[in-house]
Amino acid sequence: MKLDIKGVKELMNNDLIKNLNYFDSVTSTNELALKKNSDEIVEGDVIIAGEQTKGRGRLDRSWHSPKYLGLWFSIIVEPTKDFDRIPLLTLIGALSVHQAIKNIGINTDLKWPNDILYKNKKVCGVLSQFRSNGNKIDKVVIGIGINVNQKNFPVELKDHSISLRMIKNERIDKEKLLAYILDSFACFYKMFKNGEYKIIIDNWKKEMSILNKQITLNTSDNKKINGLVVDISNKGELIIEQSDKVRKKFIAGDVSIDKNSLRF
């Protein structure tokens, strides 16, 4: 069923989100947002799609975005903080979805830096991208894809993906869920603008699945780092303690963990 934008607006209660821009079908909401001229989109705009024909996640992985069954959207912000704080916006996006899902009675895990899992199956992914003007960040686009009302997945995804409907065995109200998410995002973004990074990170650490777990991190330059996850920095970096007790910080990477060691 097509998303009721008016219904979402009536349910929201925040000062950040200004415009909900709905498109029945796009290649990807992030792509559309990044292509728009600066005067066409402002902080607090949200681009929502009924479907994405070329939805993407991290590492250019495709994201299955069937029509009217999920929530596929991008939030546009214009942060004035230092460049090295921008990764926190991905964490805020994931944390906002996690809390909204909890509000409808489902407990999920946060997997650093951008995934939401239920029993090791992906429910949601977040992809943040930015556009710069010289040394200044012009716009940051936080793209969010949530599996909401799918009853099944293509064979290549069914072992790794799950929808909220499959978890609860009932249809999920997408309007209410999206309103929860946008209100939560606005709250955390206000903390971000006020420099309250520790509060954001503390909220994240309470819900993350890999804290105090042994993991393997695949870095962008194809290195494998093994170690114990001991913390997240106030810049959103994963802090790993290796076997020699040396601690290192990583701002990005693909984390894998033994399924049996996850917390559910």
DSSP assignment of 113-128: TTEEEETTEEEEEEEE
Instruction: Tell me the average pLDDT across 6-31.
Output: 96
Residue 30 confidence (pLDDT) above 70? yes
What angle separates helix 197-207 from helix 174-193, to the nearest 10 degrees?
140
Asked whether the beta carbons of 227 and 241 are under 8 A apart, the reply is: yes
Predicted TM-score (pTM) of this structure = 0.92
Which of the given ranges, 126-140, 163-177, 206-220, has the highest pLDDT on average?
Answer: 163-177
Residue 263 has a pLDDT of 42
Residue 262 has a pLDDT of 45
Place of tokens 């309007």: 175
Residue 220 confidence (pLDDT) above 90? no
Q: What are phi and psi of 21, to 5 degrees?
A: -105, 110
Name the nearest CA neighbour of 229 among 203, 259, 216, 85. 216
Q: Bigger pLDDT: 93 or 40?
A: 93
Residue 137 has a pLDDT of 82
Confidence of residue 202 (pLDDT cuts 50, 70, 90): very high
Name the nearest CA neighbour of 127 among 81, 205, 188, 72. 72
- Amino acid sitting at position 177: L
Mean pLDDT of the chain: 90
List C-alpha distances in Å: 61 to 166, 196, 221, 244: 23, 32, 17, 34
Residue 256 has a pLDDT of 86
Instruction: Tell me the average pLDDT across 219-227.
Output: 87
Asked whether the beta carbons of 74 and 65 are under 8 A apart, the reply is: no
List C-alpha distances in Å: 222 to 59, 117, 129, 208, 252: 12, 24, 21, 24, 12
Residue 185 confidence (pLDDT) above 80? yes
Interacting residues of 162 by C-beta distance below 8 A, sequence separation 6+? 118, 119, 121, 122, 123, 147, 153
Residue 133 has a pLDDT of 73
Confidence of residue 264 (pLDDT cuts 50, 70, 90): very low
- At residue 250, the 3 state secondary structure works out as strand
Confidence of residue 252 (pLDDT cuts 50, 70, 90): confident
Instruction: Tell me the average pLDDT across 18-43.
Output: 91
Asked whether the beta carbons of 241 and 247 are under 8 A apart, the reply is: yes
Residue 63 has a pLDDT of 62
Residue 12 has a pLDDT of 97
Residue 150 has a pLDDT of 95
